[in-house]
Amino acid sequence: MAIRYVAVLLRNGAPLTSDLEVRAHEEGLRYSIRLDRVVVFANASLSHSGDFVFIGDVFRKSDFTYVSGPDITLLRTGFDWTTPLTAHYWGTYVAVTGRPGPAGFRDPSGQMPCLIAQRPEALYLASDLAALRALTLSSFHVSWSSLHAHLFASELCRPNTCLEDISELRPAELVQLGPTGDIHRDVVWQPPVAEISDGLMPYAERARALREIVLKTTQAIGSRHTSIILGVSGGLDSSVVASALGNHPGLKLMTKVAPMAAGDERPFARLLADHLGHPLEDIHYDLNDVGFSASHLQHLARPRPNLSGQAAETALRRNFGITGEDSTFSGFGGDNVFGYLTSGAVLADLLLTRGLTGQPWRTLDDLARLTGDNYLAVARAALKILWRRKPRTWPTDPRGLTLSEPLARQPFDHPWLSASTTLPGKYRHLELVARTQNRLEGFDRKTAGPTIAPLLLQPIVEHCLAVPVWEWCRGGENRSLVRAAFAEDLPRNILTRRTKGSPGGFSYKLFKTRQKDIREILLDGSLRKHGIIDVSAIEAELSDDAITKGAFYHRLLEFTAAELWANSVGSSKK
């Protein structure tokens, strides 16, 4: 069952009205805990340690055991309680306390959602929009300026959502109510990225350490879920998670099958399932599983770019039912956390930290084999990065958008990247991990269980970010270290697999089949009305020539998904 909650952080002197508890009960939030100026409503019993409430699962770092609540004396050692919390514990949680003042903290993995609504009497922290609506009696309005910014940098997890007056507590962020009711927000945990990582550890020892941390973390989180549906493709990342969960009594493997060859990965998925001794369920989806009348993501505070994902979700519900008792696990984030980098920045890191003693010619050869470039091209890319050494900016996508001055003035940066490292390769690795944060939430928490990405949990992220980036491409293989780590656990054909299935063909077929609907939705819709999309560019890309080339269809599907979401999520101010 997915935990749903609302934590009410009361301002000084604000009363807790009795009707609030009634509304919580009507929404199914029948459990409550009261602290000083804080009350938490939830649909399940919660961990409670002294002045703290923990919404979700918390584990001890030292032995990976589940704890009902962290050691309260440890958290009371000083005013800063988040540092000892993240140093000694990990999990999928939001922590709430009333002392020394009302505050909430979202764990670094971000796998317990936390939306924020500010009201005169209190700050409301909630798992989902429906819970927030029930307790605040609010209607939701699209923030068109925030939606514009989101489409410009859709992979950046910003404090603002795409709804007016609704923000998000970002992973590792703390929100506090001051003595006068003022709000303080700060990302208080930074990934522990060392400027010079230990590049001297033997490779085999490093692989064993990675395997151990992946197994312990994945098995610990798996122990908290009775029924697990794990999506597998026979690719490396989902196979690693499947291997770690292989002995879980409630594990069910499924693979999604698109109606074209590129989206059918059953041979590799079956190879994995047979190896682990588990049956495999094929989930077939097709164009009829995508609806254009409403968004399937109206329970989220931001749209998602992948409209074709609706087909897979519809098929998954059709085959499994997806009740509140099922938890959906995946290998999402594996490319990111396992350092899938092909940039010359990898070689630049080695030169900056080890110089010629680090055998840079070996990494030069690794990158050349990985990318297919010659030595000169790889060396030039690395030297260019070393020469320029200018700060990177968050990647944005202006295609098809109007570029207004207010949009240009907005900051597009991530707090983990502002002061984390000066190593260009390690910076890119950290950026890869940060780019997953807007895609962590899955099914509607009212009707389905939680969605878990084990590879993005705090112990695995911390461990992988401490690995020198050049170790991930050893031997000219991407994610080579994790391949070595699980060499005895997975079939050789999966370990040596270099290609991936792709839903791109399905998306293109969806685009071509629903071209008329997409044209009408975009050229007569709210994105055009509010000046977000560049109409002339959209019309040009919807021309016959552009469609034949398939040059822009992903972006047009992203805009269509945003339009459907905006029309579905709530009322819109005209």
Lowest mean pLDDT segment, chosen from 1-5, 241-245, 405-409:
405-409
Query: For the chain, percent helix, then strand, then coil, each to nearest 5?
Result: 40, 15, 40
Higher-pLDDT residue of 357 and 252 is: 252
| End-to-end Cα spacing for the chain | 38
Strand segments, DSSP code E, in 382-540 are: 451-452
- Averaged over 474-490, what is the pLDDT? 96
Paired tokens of 507: 């998306």
Higher-pLDDT residue of 543 and 92 is: 92
Q: Say if residues 423 and 352 touch (Cβ distance below 8 Å).
A: yes
- Averaged over 512-523, what is the pLDDT? 93
- Averaged over 157-184, what is the pLDDT? 94
Q: Is the pLDDT of residue 572 over 50?
A: no
Residue 542 pLDDT class (50, 70, 90 cuts): confident
Give the burial class of 574: count Cβ atoms within 10 A of its Cβ; 0-12 exposed, 13-18 middle, 19 or more buried.
exposed
Q: Is the pLDDT of residue 573 over 60?
A: no
Q: What is the pLDDT of residues 543-562, one digit of tens each?
A: 777 666 666 888 999 999 99
Residue 180 pLDDT class (50, 70, 90 cuts): confident
Q: Cβ–Cβ contacts within 10 Å for residue 15, how many?
A: 8
Euclidean distance between CA atoms 366 and 343, whole angstroms: 11
Amino acid at position 189, single letter: W
Phi, psi (rounded to 5 degrees) for 68: -70, -20
Lowest mean pLDDT segment, chosen from 310-324, 343-357, 454-468:
310-324
pLDDT at 574: 36
Paired tokens of 207: 């692989």
Residue 104 pLDDT class (50, 70, 90 cuts): very high
Mean pLDDT of all residues in the chain?
A: 90
Residue spans of alpha helices (H) in 252-339: 266-276, 309-320, 334-337
Q: What is the pLDDT of residues 484-513, one digit of tens each?
A: 999 999 999 999 987 777 676 888 889 989
Q: Is the pLDDT of residue 339 over 90?
A: yes
- Averaged over 423-434, what is the pLDDT? 93
pLDDT at 458: 97
pLDDT at 77: 58
Q: Is the pLDDT of residue 73 over 90?
A: no
Residue 113 pLDDT class (50, 70, 90 cuts): very high
